[in-house]
Structure 1
């Protein structure tokens, strides 16, 4: 196990660094544009949504285009390293937006964010595909995905604990740029290490249900992903606003990240000992508990923030693990980058839709005041996001149970393009 952990460490560290870029671009960039750069909520929603749509389209195009070329770990590692410096350059230039004059601030932010979204898929798609390209069985892939989620949770904590307070408390441009520079160096360094020492595998016991599990149709996976990402993105984008204007600090961001982090071993164990359907049903209960807390008077207390944050983090990360595991099972059979690219494309299109909705809600509401009211539109949108996530868990649990009861693999689900035949589908 120690040797396996050592083999995985370059991949997990690279994922940790890359995830900080993504968490910053989804959790904090919207808040940064409105509060640090002075953009309106409507403009923020349009900028974030438009660039996410572009990012998603590139994900799908690259994944489909690379499906026959990127068939091994070495090629994927080489591509992600080549992209890392370019992605980090645009990230730094975007973070420097407050240094630009007021008249040029919006076009500058748009141009730099556009560059970031154009470059990021070249880093993201091959690095994600390495899970499917690694010589792993289904339980090994799920174990690696759980460890990836832990790395991503640590990245979210790092962003929430370091960058979040810099924005929420208005620490100034100097500390913000220093954080961005250190993160950029980390992304490049870990990408270089991954190129030299790509992931080789894990050693773990097989899941009890792997032999009996039936792959979900890809269309079902994508539908659940779209709903989950729209709801989750709405919640996460509202987190810094809630922390600043309702909860008196960045506690919700931090506890959500901690919940996702500490729950991964439990979700992995639950999947092994029961079934994906059982794990998803439990995730739904956890999310509903978090929603109830945010409707109660203790929503702004320390206890309420901790319970709601932990509940969202744990429940959403359980759903996230099951979706990635279902997709990677199909990707491992062939055309890995195509599956990954289409999967992340749908994810980002859903996030874009959430950004448009959120921009309209914030523009129509005096959110700096109304977030303290549990009955206001922004506050209810947070609760609704949790309820939708819980419903998605239950729907996916039903799909898993139905597929398992059928006793034979169902159709793979049509892909947007013709792909090579996938064995084992």
Structure 2
């Protein structure tokens, strides 16, 4: 049995700020681990390890598809911890320690006598297994920790902002890695720092595992039935994530003629800076007709920016501006569907007494990872054409981004009369 916590008039606000800080630190460390592999693994495998474009695409697809399948399975096996903040945080800490170790294994030099592809695939399966438990537990906190809907909105904004800050840090570190002359081995040193942060922040948030001070508790039971509206949000996330993440992965492969050219790193930095600006901008917005206008604004930015990058990735300042706009749109739209799921889960728990935090967020991350896996496999098919500047590849990338944006809006439109952004 779990508990649903509802705020009282005497809720201790002083206790909520440290709790949010601990949650934010943990999410930042988790985002560093995810972003480092998500943004830089393809470049590392293709350029530093020497895998072909097709092998790189296959590696991304197999590892991401495996991780996507794990999330619902993890949520099912952890269902008895549903609603129990302390048990979920204990699980998160242990899984975080394993994730830290697995991250180091991925970026260590391959074992002599073992093929690079086989080594990386086995190491990534280890990482995805540990990370799935770590991720499912952490994501459930988005609806478990907040005291009310307004607090849930603050948690989601905090989550997406710190995700973007983590991406910005990785983008800055990419200047040390994305270069024809960068020595192999730098990645291992960088992920060692990330591993230490994962363990340290996991211990910090575990210290805040108790119930909210002053909260009124009522019993709940774990459940697997999705909250109302969650299915549409999952489909919107899938259509959004696949095309958008494929275009983002191409950014690191834009290089000039010089051996120390950092064009790809600069474009990646601009894109990631935009993903930081998106959630911050959304947090300051107020719309009379709910979330749909925000979705329209951010989707338009993502589509125009993504198409602009696909058409002219080596155009200098215009490409930087396109990547920045693309990032702003991407950050804003991602925040919207994470917020939507958090609100749906909390309303479902208050209405029915059934907690679905683990199941709902596990399905959301599974959908995102599966869409990312498909786009990762497509990178292997499009990479050679993109590097060669083939018009057909540019047209295909632009069309994918446009379809993703239009599909996301079409599914998000029924939320036009959803709760206002406050």
Task: Mark yes or no: TM-score above 0.5.
Answer: yes
Q: Which residue of 1 aligns with 2:219?
A: none
Distance in structure 2 (CA, Å) of the matches to 1:18 and 1:291: 26
Q: Which residue of 2 aligns with 1:313?
A: 327
Q: Which residue of 2 aligns with 1:73?
A: 85
Distance in structure 2 (CA, Å) of the matches to 1:153 and 1:72: 28
Distance in structure 1 (CA, Å) of the matches to 2:310 and 2:146: 46
CA deviations 1:246-292 (Å, max 9, x no partner) are 98241121111111112213212325655110100111221233145
Q: 1:220 offset after TM fit, Å?
A: 1.0
1:264 matched to 2:279: yes
Distance in structure 1 (CA, Å) of the matches to 2:306 and 2:236: 20
Deviates more, 1:386-395 or 1:127-136: 386-395
Deviates more, 1:283-292 or 1:303-312: 283-292
Deviates more, 1:103-112 or 1:182-191: 103-112
Q: 1:381 offset after TM fit, Å?
A: 4.2
Matched-pair contact (CA < 8 Å) for 2:146–2:155? no
1:235 matched to 2:247: yes
Matched-pair contact (CA < 8 Å) for 2:253–2:264? no
Matched-pair contact (CA < 8 Å) for 1:259–1:312? yes
SS of the residue corresponding to residue 284 of structure 2 reads helix
User: How do 1:84-103 and structure 2 match up within 5 A?
Assistant: 84-97=96-109, 99-101=110-112
Counterpart of 2:56 (choices 44, 47, 57) is 44
Matched-pair contact (CA < 8 Å) for 1:53–1:352? yes
How many residues end up aligned between the 2 structures? 384
Distance in structure 1 (CA, Å) of the matches to 2:256 and 2:200: 33
Q: 1:153 offset after TM fit, Å?
A: 0.6
Distance in structure 1 (CA, Å) of the matches to 2:274 and 2:61: 27
Matched-pair contact (CA < 8 Å) for 1:163–1:179? no
Q: 1:302 offset after TM fit, Å?
A: 4.1
Which structure 1 segments of 5+ residues have no match?
A: 203-214, 406-425
1:327 matched to 2:327: no
1:139 matched to 2:154: no
Distance in structure 2 (CA, Å) of the matches to 1:81 and 1:5: 21
1:275 matched to 2:296: no
Question: Structure 1 residues 308, 137: CA separation in 2 closer, same or farther (over 3 Å shift)?
Answer: same
Q: Which residue of 1 aligns with 2:138?
A: 127
Counterpart of 1:356 (choices 359, 374, 377) is 377
Matched-pair contact (CA < 8 Å) for 2:86–2:210? no
Q: Which residue of 2 aligns with 1:107?
A: 118
Matched-pair contact (CA < 8 Å) for 1:8–1:200? no
Question: Structure 1 residues 75, 45: CA separation in 2 closer, same or farther (over 3 Å shift)?
Answer: same
Q: Which residue of 2 aligns with 1:344?
A: 365
Counterpart of 1:392 (choices 407, 413, 416) is 407
Question: Structure 1 residues 64, 244: CA separation in 2 closer, same or farther (over 3 Å shift)?
Answer: farther
1:162 matched to 2:186: no
Question: Structure 1 residues 404, 76: CA separation in 2 closer, same or farther (over 3 Å shift)?
Answer: closer
Distance in structure 2 (CA, Å) of the matches to 1:350 and 1:343: 11
Deviates more, 1:68-77 or 1:119-128: 68-77
Matched-pair contact (CA < 8 Å) for 1:164–1:250? yes
Matched-pair contact (CA < 8 Å) for 1:145–1:324? yes
Which structure 2 segments of 5+ residues have no match?
A: 1-12, 214-226, 350-354
CA deviations 1:174-195 (Å, max 9, x no partner) are 4322111111111111111111
Q: Which residue of 1 aligns with 2:301?
A: 286
Q: 1:108 offset after TM fit, Å?
A: 1.1
SS of the residue corresponding to residue 168 of structure 1 reads coil
Question: Structure 1 residues 49, 78: CA separation in 2 closer, same or farther (over 3 Å shift)?
Answer: same
Matched-pair contact (CA < 8 Å) for 1:247–1:301? no
CA deviations 1:31-85 (Å, max 9, x no partner) are 2111111111212222221121221111101112323323122122111110112
Q: Taking structure 1 as the reference length, what is the TM-score of the superposition?
A: 0.83
Distance in structure 1 (CA, Å) of the matches to 2:19 and 2:266: 34
Q: 1:144 offset after TM fit, Å?
A: 0.9
Q: Which residue of 1 aligns with 2:218?
A: none
Q: Taking structure 2 as the reference length, what is the TM-score of the superposition?
A: 0.83
